[in-house]
């Protein structure tokens, strides 16, 4: 979470600059299988906080449990961490001081549920699952999502902004003239994708969103096909980074479709990042990272800039890896 603290100091506001000519695709070392056997169970998730999340998911997967349960329980660990500044109620607030949460979940049958702009609830991913399982809808937002949560047994949390977060918010207010901040370090959503011993895929994504956002802003994380997409015939993908950028290319849906058309997870992630670089001239001013998993248990990871990492648990080992990235200078 140091990056979030650094980001307060830097706070470069949306000063778009155009770069001539796109860099070539980076040389990647995709984490593929060493033989033809399908690697399962398997779970991967974004950033260093993915490691404890994968541990929780692995407990379910290694006991033969369902990927859907694994991806919910996994990210709940991070949602419950009050020191995490980008996921859950410990996250940085919007510019008016409200912590608003976005989350979604998707299963192997294509069922999905999502909540956005939700306040005071510790586990938005579980509310998203309940939207999926108990309503005819996919997405509930704001007060409606909150009332739905309360009506279904979730409690209003009494968790308040920590002194550290309050201080950071006040500092940001002083330095930034109430303008939303677009920055390379404002990007620590947890996205998780997993395959269980049955070979079924699921995914989840949860965040407090971009720090100091406008009140009411929703990013990519709760939007199916942007922060997360799962197709049990093909694979799954999740995203982290500047949500507006991911939404503009329907990032995770794009990656799954690229895999459907024959790309490896690594190639698909690289092409999605290239798409951003081609269409969004200010791409060097922000970060986006993608993870992907196919039905064979091959994995892909790629980001715009350096410093994107992810946790991969497979064959009983849960390790952090640095992702390859596009902008090498
Ligand atoms: N990817 C998180 C957000 O943009 O809110």
Q: How many CB atoms lie within 10 A of CB 177?
A: 7
Per residue in 271-304, pLDDT (tens digit) is: 999 999 999 999 999 999 999 999 999 999 999 9
Residue 36, pLDDT > 50, answer yes
Looking at residue 31, its pLDDT comes to 62
The arithmetic mean of pLDDT across residues 54-79, rounded, is 98
Residue 17, pLDDT > 60, answer no
Read off φ and ψ for residue 325, nearest 5 degrees.
-150, 165
Looking at residue 23, its pLDDT comes to 36
Residue 195, pLDDT > 60, answer yes
The pairs formed by 168-172 with CB atoms below 8 angstroms and a separation of 24 or more are 168/4, 168/5, 168/8, 168/92, 169/92, 169/93, 169/97, 169/212, 171/8, 172/8, 172/11, 172/95, 172/211, 172/212
Q: CA 125 to CA 224: how far, in whole Å?
A: 13
What distance in angstroms lies between residue 278's CA and the mean position of ligand 1's atoms? 20
Looking at residue 29, its pLDDT comes to 41
pLDDT averaged over every residue in the chain? 90
Q: Out of 15-19, 37-41, 64-68, 128-132, pick the least confident.
A: 15-19
Looking at residue 28, its pLDDT comes to 40
Cα–Cα–Cα angle for 132, 133, 134, rounded to 5 degrees: 105
CATH 3.20.20.240 fits 38-325, yes or no: no
- Residue to mutate (ligand 1; options 182, 209, 308; most atoms within 8 A of CB): 209
For the annotated catalytic residues, the residue numbers are 189
What distance in angstroms lies between residue 190's CA and the mean position of ligand 1's atoms? 10
The arithmetic mean of pLDDT across residues 206-224, rounded, is 97
239-266 CB burial, b ≥16 within 10 A, e <16: bbbbbbbbbebbbbbbbbbbbeeebbbb
Instruction: Name the residue ranges covered by the structural domains of the chain.
Output: 38-325
Beta strand 299-303 pairing with 324-325: parallel
Q: CA 13 to CA 91: how far, in whole Å?
A: 20
Residue 256, pLDDT > 50, answer yes
CB 199 within 8 A of CB 37: no
For residue 116, give both structure tokens: 């956005």
The verdict on the CB of residue 75 being under 6 Å from ligand 1 is no
């Amino acid at each position: 979470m140091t990056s979030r603290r650094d980001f307060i100091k830097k706070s470069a506001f949306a000063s778009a600059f155009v770069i001539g000519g796109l860099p070539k695709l980076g040389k990647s070392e995709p984490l593929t299988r060493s033989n033809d056997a399908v690697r399962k169970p398997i779970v991967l998730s974004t950033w260093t906080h993915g490691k404890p999340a994968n541990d929780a998911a692995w407990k379910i997967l290694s006991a033969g449990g369902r990927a859907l349960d694994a991806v919910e329980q996994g990210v709940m660990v991070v949602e419950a961490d009050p020191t995490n500044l980008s996921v859950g109620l410990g996250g940085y607030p919007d510019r008016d001081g409200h912590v608003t949460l976005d989350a979604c979940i998707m299963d192997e049958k294509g069922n999905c549920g999502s909540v956005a702009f939700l306040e005071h609830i510790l586990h938005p991913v579980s509310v998203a699952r309940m939207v999926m399982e108990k309503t005819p809808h996919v997405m509930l937002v704001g007060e409606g999502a909150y009332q739905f949560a309360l009506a279904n047994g979730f409690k209003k949390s009494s968790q308040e902004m920590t002194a550290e977060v309050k201080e950071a918010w006040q500092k940001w207010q002083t330095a930034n003239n109430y303008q939303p901040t677009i920055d390379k370090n404002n990007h620590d959503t947890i996205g998780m994708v997993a395959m269980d011993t049955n070979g079924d895929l699921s995914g989840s994504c949860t965040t407090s969103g971009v720090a100091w956002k406008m009140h009411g802003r929703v990013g990519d994380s709760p939007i199916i096909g942007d922060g997360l997409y799962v197709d049990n015939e093909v694979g799954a993908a999740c995203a982290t980074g500047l949500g507006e950028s991911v939404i503009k290319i329907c990032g995770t849906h794009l990656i799954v479709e690229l895999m459907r058309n024959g790309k490896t997870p690594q190639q698909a992630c690289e092409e999605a990042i290239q798409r951003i670089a081609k269409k969004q001239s200010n791409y060097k001013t922000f970060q986006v990272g993608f993870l992907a998993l196919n039905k064979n248990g091959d994995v892909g990871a790629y980001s715009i800039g350096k410093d994107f990492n992810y946790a991969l648990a497979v064959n009983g080992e849960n390790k952090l890896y640095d992702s390859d990235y596009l902008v090498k200078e």
